[in-house]
Amino acid sequence: MKIKILLVALLIFPIITQAQVNITRTQGTGYFIETQDGDTLNLRGATPFYNSYHTAYVDAIDYSSNNGIQVNVRSNIEDRVTAYLYNEDIYIEEVQRADHNDLFKNVSWSLEIHKDSTRSISFVIETEETELDTLYTEIRCGSEWVENNMFVQPAAKLMYGIMWDCSSPLTYQFTATNVDGWEETITKSYPVWMSTYSGYQPTYSLLWGNMTWDIWNGILSMKLDQRNIARIKSELTPLHRNIRVEVTEVVDSTHTTGVHFALRTSEIPEEHSVETYLNQNGMGVSIFSNGTWSNPINFPVQWEYHVPITYTITLVDDTISVLANGETYTYQSELISSTPAGYLSIGSTGAGTYTIKSIETTILE
């Protein structure tokens, strides 16, 4: 049985519709219609309410529909959009566009489950701060409107979250505008399985000791405020004896060791467990047996603070092996053999922050 637990940050790129055309205008001028024979019709003047290229589109389409001729929507000499009328259908064609910066740089989100079983979705919206005037947000659960908001002159990296109690697809729409009339909209929908934890992101429960944890942008971050033997249990990995796990970890300098990655952990605190942990001399093997803790061997695994390291731990019967940096290290012991079946758990002992970027688990029985 193979279980994949992937903590991978979601990168959501801007979606620009085919009909979207950006228009700039020179200061103090309004939009106008230019007919094929060179005549012009002023549109709306230059009042702030009407300084929108959407208004120009509407007027151009109305004029074209009423008169049956081609019209140009123009704001200045460098920028032109042409509307054609064919069989009562309007087609917008971008003929020439002035240089500009996209208002959105990136949007990402993550789903979090809290200790009281409530869930929340956190969004990170990155925009061009110098360009942005207003950001409008809308979140839907299926067809139901969950949240809408307006942020005036937001920071280049806006982070905000909402509580999420929904069993329907997630849809978000973000619209950014600037003072010159530019507008850009991102709309994205995700199926139900991507906005629930079942089968998507791992859930954890406290198994031993006292620690807090969170998943943000696909990264599992654990924190021990005080020294204690603490572990969280993966709820997606069943009771087992033999297992293989591929881990990508980033060791934080708040502590001299990495996480204790425990492969056969008892529900009773400190009763039994077979674990590995990165330390200043490489990677150690730690074994709990009937409440007694021992560190029988250390493998010469090379790692650096704040640099991701990927390693694979395999536990079968009486043998634990580690593959790291292209080298395989093995330790065999009757103590391991006598360790009963257990759960997958993660944690540590010393106060500090501990970070896991990804986990892939295979049960070997």
Residues 92 and 105 in one domain: no
pLDDT at 108 over 70: yes
Q: CB-based contacts of 226: which residues, under 8 Å, 6+ apart?
A: 210, 351
Could you report the per-residue pLDDT of 318-339, keeping only the tens digit for each?
A: 999 999 999 999 999 999 999 9
Number of domains in the chain: 3
HEC sequence for 24-85: CCCCCCCCEEEECCCCEEECCCCCHHHCCHHHHHHHHHHHHHHHCCCEEEEEECCEEEEEEE
Residue where one domain finishes, among candidates 175, 195, 215: 195
Residue 140 lies in a domain: yes
Residue 120 lies in a domain: yes
Residue 154 lies in a domain: yes
Residue 117 near residue 104, CB atoms below 8 Å: no
Residue where one domain finishes, among candidates 151, 170, 195: 195
Residue where one domain finishes, among candidates 180, 195, 210: 195
Residues 87 and 113 in one domain: no
Residue-range definition of the domain harbouring residue 207:
202-363
Residues 181 and 246 in one domain: no
Answer yes or no: pTM beyond 0.75: no
Domain containing residue 337: CATH number: 2.60.120.560
Residue identified by tokens 């139900």 is 192
The pLDDT confidence band at residue 13, using thresholds 50, 70 and 90, is very low
To which H or E segment does residue 140 belong? strand 134-141
Lowest mean pLDDT among 113-117, 177-181, 201-205, 335-339: 113-117
Residues 182 and 283 in one domain: no
Residues 191 and 267 in one domain: no
Q: Which pLDDT score, from 0 to 100, does residue 243 have? A: 94
The pLDDT confidence band at residue 207, using thresholds 50, 70 and 90, is very high
Longest dimension (CA), the chain: 94
For 57, half-sphere exposure in the C-beta direction (CA atoms, 13 angstrom radius) is: 13
Tokens of 39: 């005549």
Identify which of 215, 253, 255, 241 has the alpha carbon closest to the alpha carbon of residue 359: 215
Residues 136 and 90 in one domain: no
Identify which of 23, 19, 82, 72 has the alpha carbon closest to the alpha carbon of residue 51: 23
Chain centroid, CA 2 distance in Å: 24
Residue identified by tokens 């637990």 is 5
Could you report the per-residue pLDDT of 248-271, keeping only the tens digit for each?
A: 999 999 889 999 999 999 999 999
Residue 310 lies in a domain: yes
